[in-house]
């Protein structure tokens, strides 16, 4: 992890879930970390992490954010952007379907504003999800947005080289995005992952390890790394 010593990283969506796990791992590895979310408050221990607030849909706010904190070595985009529609497409409220793309708009806003503040050997990581390439019933909107995120990164990689951009695609991860608790939570996650090659939900820290891999490996760009417990093969 010495490769992260004295590096500076900004993590959007960095105060909870996968983003928080990334923030903590980078800070533990010696990086200077700014964790950003709309509410600007971190869940639990924030040792070594600076916290700031910004909405990824606010372009002016993002410009000011990067002016404050640049130059950067790393930019990680783990913000969801907002609610995502579920259910059969033909029964779906199209406004809700369109609203699901707030994640993509947030990512494109962040990359557009942030890449000019990256050092020449800097790197960006976006987060998609396994439905992008294996869409189960009711996940069409989430799948479509994930496809767009992965296609965006592949298309952009040649434009920004030698700066790098990659995507990490999680499967079902045990994060605060699942609102239920206790036994109901255990049963929900078990039902969702029972057919996977690794039949359990992943942990945010496991996805964070994949993100740190593509941040630190200078021979990887324009690709998607799956951290999904074999969901694509089940």
Instruction: Determine, yes or no, domain membership for 49.
Output: yes
* Domain contains 213: yes
Nearest to 197 by CA among 234, 165, 145: 234
Q: Are 142 and 84 in contact (CB under 8 A)?
A: yes
- What domain range includes position 51? 2-227
Q: What is the pLDDT of residue 190?
A: 86
The enclosing H or E element of 113 equals helix 102-114
pLDDT at 76 > cutoff 60: yes
- Residue 232 domain-assigned (yes or no): no
Question: How many whole angstroms separate alpha carbon 119 and alpha carbon 66?
Answer: 13
Torsional class of 71: left (φ above 0), alpha (ψ -120 to 50), beta (otherwise): beta
- Residue 1 pLDDT greater than 60, yes or no: no
Question: In this predicted structure, what is the pLDDT of residue 133?
Answer: 92
Q: Which pTM was predicted?
A: 0.93
Closest CA to 163 of 129, 125, 127, 128: 125
**Percent of the chain with pLDDT strictly greater than 90:** 78
Q: Quick count: other Cβ atoms within 10 Å of Cβ 60?
A: 9
Q: What is the pLDDT of residues 214-227, one digit of tens each?
A: 999 999 999 999 99
CA distance 48 to 232: 36
* Per-residue model confidence (pLDDT) at position 119: 98
Q: Can you tell me the distance from the alpha carbon of 57 to that of 74, in angstroms, rounded to the nearest whole number?
A: 20
Contacts of 91 (CB under 8 A, 6+ apart): none
The pLDDT of residue 188 is 81
pLDDT of residue 42 exceeding 90, the answer is: no
What's the whole-number mean pLDDT along residues 95-104?
94
Share of the chain above pLDDT 70, in %: 99
Helix (H, G, I), strand (E, B) or coil at 50: strand
In the structure encoding, which two tokens stand for residue 43, read together?
């869940």
Q: How far apart are CA 120 and CA 185, in angstroms?
A: 44
* Number of residues assigned to the chain: 234
Mean pLDDT of the chain: 93
pLDDT of residue 212: 98
- For residue 12, pLDDT over 70 is answered with yes
* Assigned domain for 23 exists: yes
* Residue 233 belongs to a domain: no
Instruction: Work out how many domains the chain is built from and give that number.
Output: 1
Residue 84's pLDDT is 83
**Residue in this structure with the two tokens 């965006």, named with its chain if needed:** 152
> In CATH, what number is assigned to the domain containing residue 217?
3.40.50.720
Look at residue 234 and tell me if it is in a domain: no
82 is a domain residue: yes
Q: State pLDDT tens for residues 141-178.
A: 999 999 999 999 999 999 999 999 999 999 989 887 77
Which phi and psi angles does 197 have, rounded to 5°? Answer: -60, -35
């Amino acid at each position: 992890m010495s490769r992260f010593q004295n590096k500076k990283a900004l993590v959007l969506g960095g105060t909870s879930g996968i983003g928080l796990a990334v923030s903590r791992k980078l800070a533990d590895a010696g990086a200077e970390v700014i964790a950003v979310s709309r509410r600007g408050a971190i869940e639990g221990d924030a040792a070594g992490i600076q916290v700031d607030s910004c909405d990824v849909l606010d372009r002016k706010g993002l410009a000011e954010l990067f002016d404050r904190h640049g130059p950067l070595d790393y930019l990680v985009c783990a913000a969801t952007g907002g609610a995502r529609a579920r259910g059969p497409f033909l029964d779906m409220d199209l406004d809700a379907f369109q609203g699901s793309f707030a994640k993509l708009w947030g990512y494109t806003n962040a990359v557009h504003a942030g890449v000019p503040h990256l050092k020449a050997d800097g790197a960006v990581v976006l987060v998609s999800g396994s439905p992008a390439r294996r869409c189960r019933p009711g996940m069409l909107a989430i799948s479509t947005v994930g496809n767009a995120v992965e296609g965006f990164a592949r298309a952009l990689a040649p434009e920004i080289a030698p700066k790098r951009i990659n995507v990490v695609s999680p499967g079902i991860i045990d994060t605060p995005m699942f609102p239920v608790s206790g036994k109901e939570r255990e049963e929900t996650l078990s039902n969702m992952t029972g057919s996977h090659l690794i039949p359990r939900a992943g942990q945010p820290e496991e996805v964070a390890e994949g993100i740190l891999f593509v941040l630190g490996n200078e021979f990887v760009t324009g690709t998607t790394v799956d951290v999904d417990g074999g969901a694509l093969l089940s």
